[in-house]
């Protein structure tokens, strides 16, 4: 891919910081502008996580993925908007204002990597890096009509990623098509000694549609259950039918652990957030504490003023789940439920090669539609969180529209079998041309 012009006119508030930089060298991404979610550290470029508590913070080092992207010749042209600390499904909780969906600016782009998705969907950049803790790459990919990959946990280094929920989150590629997602993934995948969770599995695959013939695709009934818009379900069922027409074998199946996956996810991620976000105390990063009150009172005041409502809500939920007398009732049980999700995937993958279903239960919400009802926003993650709980890879590929709004087809694979789900996504994408 050659050099691509970067349109700095950001009508969607996709970026928090725009950089006018050029790529260099002759690597696989030479001259390609790449946007980076603002939760990934970039040397010399402000990294805010969408929060006032980090406004003005400039990291002294690059994240591992940024090092790799630069070494491949790409230009990091900006840091994209996001839900504060990755906590959201709409990119409305950013301290720097909401991002809008380029398909329909009255709609949200999804979250929390909504800025990266909007930057790609609008044509500002061909590729972007996002992060996915419970669907934060796949949700905006589905809502904006692009492709997004959540890799296997550990296949991409998390060094330089500002931690929200360590055991769940990861960095992944977003682009307008499967080939570009594959190209960016080939650059960022692989081991890193600075990340203890990193695994030695580089990615050197070239996408091919040939493997779709004979592929066994499992379709869990629970992926089309309560809360899934019938029109979205119909569109995704049609897409799965297209895969069957290409030679895949469709296997109807069941995943009972879906009944408690969402609860297990939110107990786990809020508990980890409660611990991780304790570091933002006004001493080390961001705006200084200016107060004549006692340290305890000043600390509370600083966090109340600089952390948004959703972040404070999740910190409190996690602190409660970890507190004495409740740890066993909530956190320990959530880990048992998480184990059951992993066991369900293992059971299904003994019989099928890929699992398919909708990425999101609905199309993109209207701006402001869910902000007053956090529970309904949490429920929107029901189809994406299982892959994070199990650490398996998942990709969202556009599969048409409902009332003019994009719908995503989600394909989930075994650990470290990104190659297979990328090939299946490639086969579907090619068949739609």
The reply to whether 294 belongs to the active site is no
* Least confidently predicted of 106-115, 315-324, 330-339: 315-324
CB 361 within 8 A of CB 235: no
Average pLDDT over residues 108-127: 98
The structural domain count of the chain equals 1
Average pLDDT over residues 74-83: 97
Q: What is the pLDDT of residue 20?
A: 76
How confident is the model at residue 287, as a pLDDT?
72
Tell me which of 41, 93, 94, 136 is the catalytic residue.
136
The answer to whether residue 126 scores a pLDDT higher than 70 is yes
pLDDT the model gives residue 2: 39
Look up 186 and say whether it is catalytic: no
Average of per-residue pLDDT across 336-341:
98
The reported pLDDT for the residue numbered 278 is 86
Query: Which residues are registered as beta bridge partners of 45?
Result: 42
Q: Is 3 a catalytic residue?
A: no
Q: Is the pLDDT of residue 3 over 50?
A: no
The CATH number linked to 20 is 3.90.1300.10
Residues 174 and 181: beta-carbon distance below 8 Å = yes
Sheet with 15-18, side-by-side order of all strands: 15-18, 75-80, 33-37, 127-132, 170-175, 147-150, 394-402, 405-412, 354-358, 216-220, 249-253
What pLDDT band is residue 301 in, cutting at 50, 70 and 90? confident
Mean pLDDT of 372-395: 96
- In terms of residue numbers, what domain contains 70? 1-433
- pLDDT of 5 over the 50 cut: no
Least reliable range by pLDDT among 43-52, 186-195, 196-205, 321-330 = 321-330
Q: In the predicted model, what is the mean pLDDT of the chain?
A: 94
pTM for this prediction: 0.95
Examine the pLDDT at 244 and tell me if it is beyond 70.
yes
pLDDT score of 86 more than 80: yes
Of the residues 41, 112, 116, 396, only one is catalytic, namely 112
What burial class does residue 149 get, using C-beta atoms within 10 Å of its C-beta: 0-12 exposed, 13-18 middle, 19+ buried?
Answer: buried
């Amino acid at each position: 891919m050659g050099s691509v012009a970067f349109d700095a006119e950001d009508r969607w508030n996709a970026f928090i910081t725009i950089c006018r930089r050029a790529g260099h060298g002759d690597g696989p991404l030479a001259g390609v502008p790449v946007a980076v979610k603002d939760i990934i550290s970039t040397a010399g470029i402000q990294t805010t996580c969408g929060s006032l508590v980090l406004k003005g913070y400039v990291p002294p080092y690059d994240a591992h993925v940024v090092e790799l992207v630069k070494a491949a010749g790409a230009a990091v042209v900006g840091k994209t908007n996001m839900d504060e600390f990755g906590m959201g499904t709409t990119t409305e909780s950013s301290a720097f204002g909401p991002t809008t969906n380029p398909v329909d600016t009255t709609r949200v782009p999804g979250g929390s990597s909504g800025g990266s998705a909007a930057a790609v969907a609008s044509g500002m950049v061909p590729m972007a890096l996002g992060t996915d803790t419970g669907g934060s790459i796949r949700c905006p990919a589905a809502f904006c009509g692009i492709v997004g990959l959540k890799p296997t946990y550990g296949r991409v280094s998390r060094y330089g990623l500002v931690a929200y929920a360590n055991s769940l989150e990861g960095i992944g590629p977003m682009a307008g098509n499967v080939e570009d997602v594959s190209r960016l993934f080939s650059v960022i995948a692989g081991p890193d000694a600075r990340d203890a969770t990193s695994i030695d599995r580089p990615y050197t695959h070239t996408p091919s549609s040939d493997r779709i013939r004979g592929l066994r695709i499992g379709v869990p009934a629970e992926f089309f259950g309560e809360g899934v818009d019938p029109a979205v379900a119909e569109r995704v069922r049609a897409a799965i039918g297209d895969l069957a027409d290409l030679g895949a074998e469709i296997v109807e199946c069941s995943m009972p652990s879906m009944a408690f996956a969402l609860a297990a996810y939110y107990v786990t991620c809020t508990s980890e957030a409660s611990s991780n976000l304790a570091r933002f105390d006004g001493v080390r990063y961001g705006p200084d504490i200016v107060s004549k009150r006692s340290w305890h009172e000043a600390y509370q005041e600083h966090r109340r003023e600089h952390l948004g409502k959703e972040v404070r809500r999740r910190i409190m939920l996690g602190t409660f789940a970890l507190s004495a007398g409740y740890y066993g009732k909530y956190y320990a049980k959530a880990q048992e439920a998480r184990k059951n999700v992993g066991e369900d995937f293992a059971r299904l993958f003994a019989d099928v090669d890929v699992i398919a279903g909708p990425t999101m239960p609905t199309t993109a919400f209207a701006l402001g539609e869910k902000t007053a009802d956090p529970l309904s926003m949490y429920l929107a993650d029901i189809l994406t969180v299982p892959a994070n709980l199990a650490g398996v890879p998942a990709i969202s590929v556009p599969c048409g529209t409902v009332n003019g709004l994009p719908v995503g087809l989600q394909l989930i694979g075994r650990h470290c079998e990104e190659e297979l789900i990328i090939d299946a996504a490639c086969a579907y994408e090619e068949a739609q041309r």
